[in-house]
């Protein structure tokens, strides 16, 4: 069961990184920040899904998504 969960999380991370292929299409700071937020939120949710069970898992996914969105936006601003 643990291997399946890790495989799903890895797939989500890879799919969330796929928009990076379009990174050269737009250079505005707002687009970079938004892209960073989306990728960070998806990655954070995937990582959060690996923790907890029941309603604790829902909280972990939500917290991961929020923290990932914030971190992704900050990283993209640099």
Indicate whether 24 pLDDT > 60: no
> Which tokens belong to 5?
């969960």
User: Mind listing the pLDDT tens digit for each residue in 50-78?
Assistant: 888 888 889 999 999 999 999 999 998 87
Residue 27's φ and ψ, nearest 5 degrees, are: -115, 5
- Distance from C-alpha of 66 to C-alpha of 34, rounded to nearest angstrom: 14
> Which tokens belong to 38?
């989306």
Mean pLDDT of the chain: 80
Whole-model pTM over 0.95: no
The pLDDT value given to residue 31 = 85
- Distance from C-alpha of 34 to C-alpha of 26, rounded to nearest angstrom: 11
The pLDDT value given to residue 54 = 86
> Which one has a higher pLDDT value, 10 or 41?
41
């Amino acid at each position: 069961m643990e291997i399946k969960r890790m495989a799903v999380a890895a797939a989500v991370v890879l799919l969330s990184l796929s928009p990076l292929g379009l990174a050269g299409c737009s250079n505005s700071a707002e687009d970079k920040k938004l892209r960073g937020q989306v990728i960070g939120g998806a990655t954070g949710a995937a990582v959060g899904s690996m923790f907890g069970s029941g309603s604790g898992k829902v909280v972990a996914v939500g917290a991961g998504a929020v923290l990932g969105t914030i971190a992704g936006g900050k990283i993209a601003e640099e």
